[in-house]
Structure 1
Amino acid sequence: MEEYLQKVLEQIRCKQAKKLVEAELRGHLEEQIAENISSGMNREEAVYAAVQDMGNPVETGVSLDALHKPQICWFMVVMIGIISLLGIGVQTVIGMQNRDLGSSYIFKHVFCVLGGFCLMLFIYRLDYSFLGKHARILALTGGVLWILSRLFFSVSINGTNRWISLPGLGTISISALLYLAIPLYAGILYQYYGQGRAGVLKCILWLLLPVVLAFYLPNLFQAFFLFLVQSCLLTAAICKGWFSVKKGVFLGGFWGIALLLPVVFLGLGIRLHWFASYQTERILHYINSISLGFVQTTGQENPAYHNDLVFGFLGTSYGIMAAILVAALLLALSMKGLHMARKQKNELGTMVGYAGGLFFLFMTLLNILMSVGILPGASSFLPLISSGGSNLFLSYMVLGLLLSVYRYQNLLPTDRKKLRKTSGLLET
């Protein structure tokens, strides 16, 4: 039997697939051997008959090699490339129109796009299942490092300490780094799979951790965004039956509290002076009057038009159809990611895919709603279009995880216990 397995595995080129194929074939052979023994054969005869039934090892290995091989979603890659080129074009025009930005601004954006694209391809080749093994450790370690960076290494830009300075690399947004909590949360949900109400409570506590960090940054939009996306992931896990709780009762209570708490929080925050003065003014202004229609932004009137309000710049400079086209491409990319996640047989892959798809979907929608004045202005970005090195690298990292989910869809076991075993994670 071992010789047969070895011959089959020699035909398979992907190392990750060999573990899966070996486990599957060994299981089938052991089942057939047990059945042959029960029918009256001795051990040696049973093994020989089971191996013969499996067929030619070379032919079997070649067919399994074709089935279990890395894949790449070329549709997504092409879309990412098109949107990236559009982003370069938009930022080039902005850099040429604004003398204060200059050519160095354009070169920096192009460099970040190329670097981010390479980072995406690197992450695409990584086995995303590490999130199912180490998500809590990574989240805890990252949270501690994030707090230390915020306290001791942050630099003030425009009156806020949301950046850290690295020699030779410039400044990195610690606010952008906090968005990595979203894919990590997908892995955390997976690690608490099947733990019932106690597991759900732990997941809620993990959900609140990055939200609290974002609030004390302070970045109210990011706190809201993290809560929204992670709550959707928790809802998906509940609906898929990951936890032994009554779905309707829990989700009704959870979302009821989630919708009520922001109102109470804002009211208490304004009355008890929890917010900075400019934040209170923005909240009150939005409550008193909601402006509709495009924000009339030009380079001379609003310095954020190349980043936060780039959608408004597209609408006012090139017309509504150009802005709609860019929005449609980003939304199509988001929906493709969500569709791909829904089709995954591996549950961890499904949740990681949902994390990436929801990140792009909500960030795109909220940025557009802010640009047209339906939502109050906040520090957001239009993925792959807005300027900002940290946000670009973040976007490409999330896309890399989405592509990794697609790459390994036929290379990882669909069963959770088998996935933990083949990934080297001991059962708890």
Structure 2
Amino acid sequence: MEKYLEKLLLQIRCKKARPYIAEEIKGHIESQIEDNIADGMSYEEAEKNAVADMGDPIAVGISLDKIHKPQIAWKLLVIVGILSLLGILLQQSIFYQSGYSNLEPFMQEMYQLETESFVYSVFIGFILMCGIYFIDYTVIAKYSKIIGLFIITMGILLLAGFFGGDINGVRYSIGFGMFRISATSLMMFYVPIYGAILYKYRDGGFPALLKSIVWLIIPVFITFRMPNLIVAIIMMISMLIQITVAILKGWFKISVKKTIVSLWAVFMFLPIMLLFVMYTFHLLAEYQEARIHSFFSASGERFYLTSMLRTFSKDILFVGNSGNDVIGSLPEFNSDYIFSYILNSYGSIAGIVVVAVLAALVMFIFGASIKQKNELGMVMGFGCGMIILLNILLNLLGALGIIPPASSFLPFLSIGRSNILLCYALVGIIMSIYRYKDVYPKKIRASQVSFQKTINI
């Protein structure tokens, strides 16, 4: 049997697939041996016949090699490539358009710097995406708790003022000197890492579920205290989706329906009550209280922006410029309100194209995750998809004036180095998951995967 396996595995080019193929084939042979012995054969005869029944090892190996080989997500690459190109063209358009507006020279210079920074970020993002793709998501899963603790630690240090002061009570970035990254981008990257942490508690029962919830609460609370309520909500919903999928898949030996209903009821009710108490007793940052007051009283700066965005939306043409002074009227129109700029500068047809490409991105991510037979990849993929999906929804609805503007970005199109790198990192994880969709089995131990010993040949 060992010689048969050696010949068969010689035909398998993907080394990561060999241990699983060897285990599967060995299981089939041993099962057939048991049947042959039950039919009255000796062990030696039973083994010889079982191996012979498997067929020629070279032919079987070649056939399995075609099935268990890494795949490249070409469709995803095309979608990301289109979005990257659109992002560069949009930012270039903003730079050239600002030169013909009534903006001060220093503002035009700022847009030039932001455009250059955007291009550099796209280039670095592609490198980051490829790096994560080749690392293999199971390696990330193996060290998920260490990565998660690192992100949490950085968040705690930020709250303690370790990385410098804040701006208007908000703590923005982590790092030193020029090497800084947005704190919220780093915290959002925690979400796919949480999927791998969640997988480590598989088959652990109710105590394991409680530990998983603790890993959820801590980073959400840290993000809330930065303070960034919207990103905290995005993270909480995304991780609740992940843990719901895990419960539905039977990872925890608990009542499925009761647990899911209780989990969502608690996490939806408690934050609202906590927010109410903090608002009532003035425990929130001043700007957060102002936003809440603006939302419920239909007044203030946020309501003013919402009204302006709604007014701009009424003048949008099917093709062409609406005539609205987006550059001179909207703050951060090249990031938070980039979709409003697209609609007002190029018309609704351009907006439809952008939405269609973004929809294709989201559909591919969730489609790849749902079809992924390896449940570790599935849950990590859902985390990546939720971060991208929720930011798209919040950004589009805010830009159209349907909801009050929130802290969000339009993936691959909004400026912001950290958010751009976050998008490419998330896509890198998805590409890695897709790459090994026919390699890894349904259930693997995340603590050992990628470091398992292959059979020496």
Same fold by TM-score, threshold 0.5 exceeded? yes
Could you give the per-residue CA deviations for residues 240-280 of structure 1, whole angstroms, max 9, x where no partner exists? 33223333323333323333334322321221111121211
Instruction: Confirm or deny that 1:87 pairs with 2:96.
Output: no
When structure 1 is superposed on structure 2, of 203-212 and 21-30 the one drifting more is 21-30
Q: What's the counterpart of residue 428 of structure 2? A: 400
Equivalent-residue separation in structure 1 for 2:230 and 2:449 (angstroms) = 40
2:383 corresponds to which of 347, 352, 355: 355
Cα drift, residue 81 of structure 1: 0.7
Change (3 A) 1:76 1:374: same
| Partner-residue secondary structure (3-state), 1:171 | strand
2:172 corresponds to which of 152, 156, 162: 162
Instruction: Confirm or deny that 1:326 pairs with 2:373.
Output: no
When structure 1 is superposed on structure 2, of 48-57 and 211-220 the one drifting more is 48-57
Change (3 A) 1:346 1:295: farther
For 2:67, give the aligned amino acid.
L
Equivalent-residue separation in structure 1 for 2:199 and 2:26 (angstroms) = 27
Change (3 A) 1:82 1:195: same
For 1:121, give the aligned amino acid.
C
| Partner-residue secondary structure (3-state), 1:406 | helix
For 1:75, give the aligned amino acid.
K
Could you give the per-residue CA deviations for residues 303-330 of structure 1, whole angstroms, max 9, x where no partner exists? 3111111111112222223223212211
Could you give the per-residue CA deviations for residues 107-160 of structure 1, whole angstroms, max 9, x where no partner exists? 221121122122212212232223543322321233123433553224545763
Which 5+ residue runs of structure 2 have no aligned equivalent?
Answer: 99-107, 313-324, 453-457
Equivalent-residue separation in structure 2 for 1:149 and 1:264 (angstroms) = 26
Change (3 A) 1:370 1:110: same
Instruction: Confirm or deny that 1:29 pairs with 2:29.
Output: yes
Instruction: Confirm or deny that 1:412 pairs with 2:414.
Output: no
1:193 corresponds to which of 202, 207, 212: 202
Question: 8 Å contact 2:142–2:448 — kept in the other structure?
Answer: no
Cα drift, residue 165 of structure 1: 4.4
Change (3 A) 1:316 1:159: farther
Question: 8 Å contact 1:371–1:377 — kept in the other structure?
Answer: yes
Aligned alpha-carbon RMSD (Å): 2.4
Change (3 A) 1:267 1:160: closer
Equivalent-residue separation in structure 2 for 1:100 and 1:170 (angstroms) = 22
Task: Figure out how many residues of one structure are paired with residues of the other and give that number.
Answer: 424
Instruction: Confirm or deny that 1:316 pairs with 2:317.
Output: no
Q: What's the counterpart of residue 153 of structure 1? A: 163
For 1:47, give the aligned amino acid.
E
Q: What's the counterpart of residue 338 of structure 1? A: 366
Instruction: Confirm or deny that 1:174 pairs with 2:206.
Output: no
1:129 corresponds to which of 128, 135, 138: 138
| Partner-residue secondary structure (3-state), 2:17 | helix
Equivalent-residue separation in structure 1 for 2:364 and 2:435 (angstroms) = 15
Question: 8 Å contact 1:76–1:336 — kept in the other structure?
Answer: yes
Question: 8 Å contact 2:94–2:111 — kept in the other structure?
Answer: no
Could you give the per-residue CA deviations for residues 287-315 of structure 1, whole angstroms, max 9, x where no partner exists? 11264654747222233111111111112
Instruction: Confirm or deny that 1:48 pairs with 2:48.
Output: yes
Equivalent-residue separation in structure 1 for 2:218 and 2:51 (angstroms) = 53
1:244 corresponds to which of 246, 253, 277: 253
Question: 8 Å contact 1:124–1:400 — kept in the other structure?
Answer: yes
Equivalent-residue separation in structure 2 for 1:394 and 1:422 (angstroms) = 25
Change (3 A) 1:285 1:157: closer
Cα drift, residue 396 of structure 1: 0.6
Equivalent-residue separation in structure 1 for 2:311 and 2:21 (angstroms) = 56
| Partner-residue secondary structure (3-state), 2:172 | strand
Equivalent-residue separation in structure 1 for 2:451 and 2:35 (angstroms) = 30
Q: What's the counterpart of residue 334 of structure 2? A: 306
Cα drift, residue 82 of structure 1: 0.7
Change (3 A) 1:365 1:200: same
| Partner-residue secondary structure (3-state), 1:299 | helix
For 2:297, give the aligned amino acid.
N
| Partner-residue secondary structure (3-state), 2:328 | coil
Could you give the per-residue CA deviations for residues 71-103 of structure 1, whole angstroms, max 9, x where no partner exists? 012111111111111111111111223313244
For 1:182, give the aligned amino acid.
V
When structure 1 is superposed on structure 2, of 220-229 and 130-139 the one drifting more is 130-139
Equivalent-residue separation in structure 2 for 1:35 and 1:247 (angstroms) = 38
Q: What's the TM-score once normalised by structure 1's chain length?
A: 0.91
| Partner-residue secondary structure (3-state), 1:15 | coil
Which 5+ residue runs of structure 1 have no aligned equivalent?
Answer: none
| Partner-residue secondary structure (3-state), 1:350 | helix
Equivalent-residue separation in structure 2 for 1:316 and 1:422 (angstroms) = 50
Question: 8 Å contact 2:155–2:222 — kept in the other structure?
Answer: no
Equivalent-residue separation in structure 1 for 2:166 and 2:268 (angstroms) = 34
When structure 1 is superposed on structure 2, of 387-396 and 364-373 the one drifting more is 364-373
Question: 8 Å contact 1:346–1:409 — kept in the other structure?
Answer: yes
Change (3 A) 1:70 1:366: same
Could you give the per-residue CA deviations for residues 369-400 of structure 1, whole angstroms, max 9, x where no partner exists? 12222322232111111011111110011111
Cα drift, residue 355 of structure 1: 1.1
| Partner-residue secondary structure (3-state), 2:173 | strand
Q: What's the counterpart of residue 293 of structure 2? A: 284
Question: 8 Å contact 1:194–1:243 — kept in the other structure?
Answer: yes
| Partner-residue secondary structure (3-state), 1:413 | coil
Q: What's the counterpart of residue 120 of structure 1? A: 129
Cα drift, residue 354 of structure 1: 1.1
Q: What's the counterpart of residue 256 of structure 1? A: 265
Question: 8 Å contact 2:114–2:415 — kept in the other structure?
Answer: no
Question: 8 Å contact 1:294–1:312 — kept in the other structure?
Answer: no
Equivalent-residue separation in structure 2 for 1:367 and 1:278 (angstroms) = 20
